[in-house]
Amino acid sequence: MFQPTMYILCLASLWALALVAAGQDVSIRAVEKAFSDANLPANLDIVFKPTALLEVSLPQATGPPITLHAGIHVPRNDTAGPPTFHAVGPDLGRGPFVATVDPDAPTPQAPTSAQIRHFLGGNFFNHNGLLVNTTPAISEFRQPAPPAGSDPHRYTFLLFRQSAEFVTQTLVNSTTPVQLFNISQFAAAVDLGNPIAGTFMLVAPDPTT
Ligand SMILES: *[C@@H]1O[C@H](CO)[C@@H](O)[C@H](O)[C@H]1NC(C)=O
Ligand SMILES: *[C@@H]1O[C@H](CO)[C@@H](O)[C@H](O)[C@H]1NC(C)=O
Ligand SMILES: *[C@@H]1O[C@H](CO)[C@@H](O)[C@H](O)[C@H]1NC(C)=O
């Protein structure tokens, strides 16, 4: 028997799937909710009231890049990066600053080496939203590598306004251990304030490891 209601529901959910598959975050409120649902503000000790969107795209060996939306699952082997960043929003200013951290290392249940610093870079210039880094990153991007048997980790990207102190900071450089990083402590120390945008991906161990 033909069931028109079912048909419409089915089309609607396919359309929703297509929107999700197409990529990036489109709603600041949805990002804020996804962070809150994932307990990230509490686990990172940050106040997360975003006023902009941060689009993070991971280039792929073949095919188009994967653009994150908050909470997307990405296969580990598709996360080699390095990512590119776009910011969308009012008043982004000049030279913002991006940090990527993993609060779930080695496992979300016992994150004894968290946070792991996966990227730390500043001096980005805003070219119509594309953030172009004009200097080497402080910590270049490290590919996620959650250990075999772990639940997925929350790899979290945060965008801050760059402070004057950031340019002269000596707390972190390319040889500083990436373990036991603390983004809220770092942000406070170099006067970054609260993040203005962010997103995150969930990455599980590669099934062949
Ligand atoms: C991921 O990459 C590694 C190293 O190239 C490879 O051995 C492994 O089979 C890949 N895993 C999947 C699921 O393709
Ligand atoms: C990095 O920081 C450490 C500790 O402050 C310092 O000893 C080292 O010389 C710095 N390395 C570079 C490349 O600046
Ligand atoms: C990070 O630093 C904040 C203080 O800024 C502290 O409250 C928090 O417990 C620290 N987090 C970790 C994981 O050490």
Where along the chain do its domains lie? 4-203
Residue 209: per-residue pLDDT: 82
Kindly give the number of the ligand 2 atom that is closest to the alpha carbon of 171: 5
DSSP 8-class letter at 128? T
Amino acid at residue number 122: G
Per-residue confidence (pLDDT) for residue 12, from 0 to 100: 37
Q: With a cut of 50, which residues of the chain have pLDDT below it?
A: 1-21
Site of tokens 């450089």: 173
Tokens standing for 138?
A: 């402080």
121-134 tens-digit pLDDT: 988 877 776 788 77
How far apart, in Å, are the Cα atoms of 45 and each of 2, 7, 11, 121, 184? 53, 45, 41, 20, 6
- Spatial distance between the Cα atoms of 57 and 85, rounded to a whole number of angstroms: 7
Distance 114 CA to ligand 3 centre (A): 11
Residue given tokens 């990512």 in the structure block? 83
pLDDT of amino acid 16: 38
Eight-class DSSP state of 159:
E
Pocket of ligand 1, candidates 73, 76, 77: which has the most ligand atoms within 8 Å of its Cβ, to mutate? Answer: 77
pLDDT of 98: 87
Which ligand has the nearest atom to the CA of 116?
Answer: 3
* Pair of tokens at residue 127: 């070219």
Contact call for residues 57 and 74 (beta carbons, < 8 A): no
Domain 4-203 matching CATH 1.20.120.330: the answer reads: no
Question: Does residue 61 line the site of ligand 1, with CB under 6 A?
Answer: no
Burial of residue 107 (number of CB atoms within 10 Å: 0-12, 13-18, 19+) = middle
**What 3-state DSSP class applies to 34?**
helix
C-alpha closest to that of 102 among 13, 178, 207, 48: 178
Nearest atom within ligand 3 for CA of residue 184 = 5
Please choose from 79, 208, 209 the residue to mutate so as to test ligand 1's pocket, defined by most ligand atoms within 8 A of CB: 208
